[in-house]
Amino acid sequence: MASIPVSVIILTKNEERRIAQTIACLDGFEDIWVVDSQSGDDTAALAKGAGAQTVDFSWNGHYPKKKQWALNNVALRHDWVLMLDADERMTPALNAEICALFSAAALDVSGYFVKGLYRVGDQILRFGQINKKLMLFNRHDFVFPDVGDEGFVGGWEVEGHYQPILLDQSQLSALPTLKAHLIHDAFDDIAALDKRHQNYASWEALMCLHGRWPQDPVPWRQRLKKLFRALPLRWGIVFVYSYIVKGGVCDGRAGLAFARQRALYYKDIARYKRRYKAEAK
């Protein structure tokens, strides 16, 4: 595969069991950076051994957080970036699609959404809820905004579950999604996932209560998210959507486990919202 003129940023902290495989899946990418949060294991050494450059990150409790800090401070070779977590695996089809985009000079937009298929155990979930993130973009056209969540319980050093915003609002409706997908190994450590989900749920509850969500770069997604956040019993809606509407039942037991996990997450958000409302009285 030809060299792809995209700089890859991988965010890590104590990811020694996954980082080498994450980097090995980046066929065609030569400018690979691991932004590591003072890992206590061999993450940085393994990343260097796999061909990546490493940068240490230590959060000072203020903005910019880790993603925007990386865009501002890492000596990236290219204007376009691909931003990954260590539990996200590129696929040959996705590498080839990105390579073709740049080979054909077909970049008439500022960014692309990338679909992620979850893997539970050895099974890749083909149905249910599919993750979609704005991961491939021109770093000069987007910014991860300061949403004022530094003091929120459950908050952390990385920007939360929201997309970067476009600096040029005229492009809001012109952000396509790539056809190929990556693999998201979010369920390979259930104990760690449960702990993260408690933090995420607390943070998301406070984001909703304080109205801190930034504008999604795609208008219809923004409208849908605003409506969804206002609905009661979101956990039930999420379960039905993932397991029935999106066909998670076709993934068997793994599909059921995934739908239940998503429902429990939204139950936790509701529980934290009730708790913080009561504490505010």
pLDDT value for 196: 84
pLDDT value for 172: 64
User: For residue range 133-144, what is the model confidence (pLDDT) as tens digits?
Assistant: 999 999 999 999
pLDDT exceeds 90 at position 281: no
Residue 2: which pLDDT band, with cuts at 50, 70 and 90? confident
pLDDT value for 217: 85
Least confident stretch, 102-116, 179-193, 226-240: 179-193
Residue 192: which pLDDT band, with cuts at 50, 70 and 90? low
pLDDT value for 108: 82
DSSP state of 126: -
Q: State the residue range of the domain holding 255.
A: 4-280
Dihedral of CA atoms 247, 133, 228, 239 in degrees, nearest 10, equals: 30
Report how many domains make up the chain. 1
The maximal CA–CA distance of the chain, rounded, in angstroms, is 60
Residue 189: which pLDDT band, with cuts at 50, 70 and 90? low
Residues ≥6 apart with Cβ < 8 Å to 50: 19, 20, 23, 24
User: For residue range 232-259, what is the model confidence (pLDDT) as tens digits?
Assistant: 999 999 999 999 999 999 999 999 999 9
Mean pLDDT estimate for the chain:
93
Q: Residue 57 maps to which CATH number?
A: 3.90.550
Q: Which of 71, 21, 73 is nearest to 51 (CA)?
A: 21
Whole-prediction pTM: 0.93
For the stretch 206-238, what's the b/e string if a residue is b when 16 or more beta carbons lie within 10 angstroms of its beta carbon? bbbeeebbbbbbbeebbeeeeeeeeeeebbeeb
Rounded to whole angstroms, the Cα distance separating 199 from 116 reads 22
User: For residue range 13-23, what is the model confidence (pLDDT) as tens digits?
Assistant: 999 999 999 99
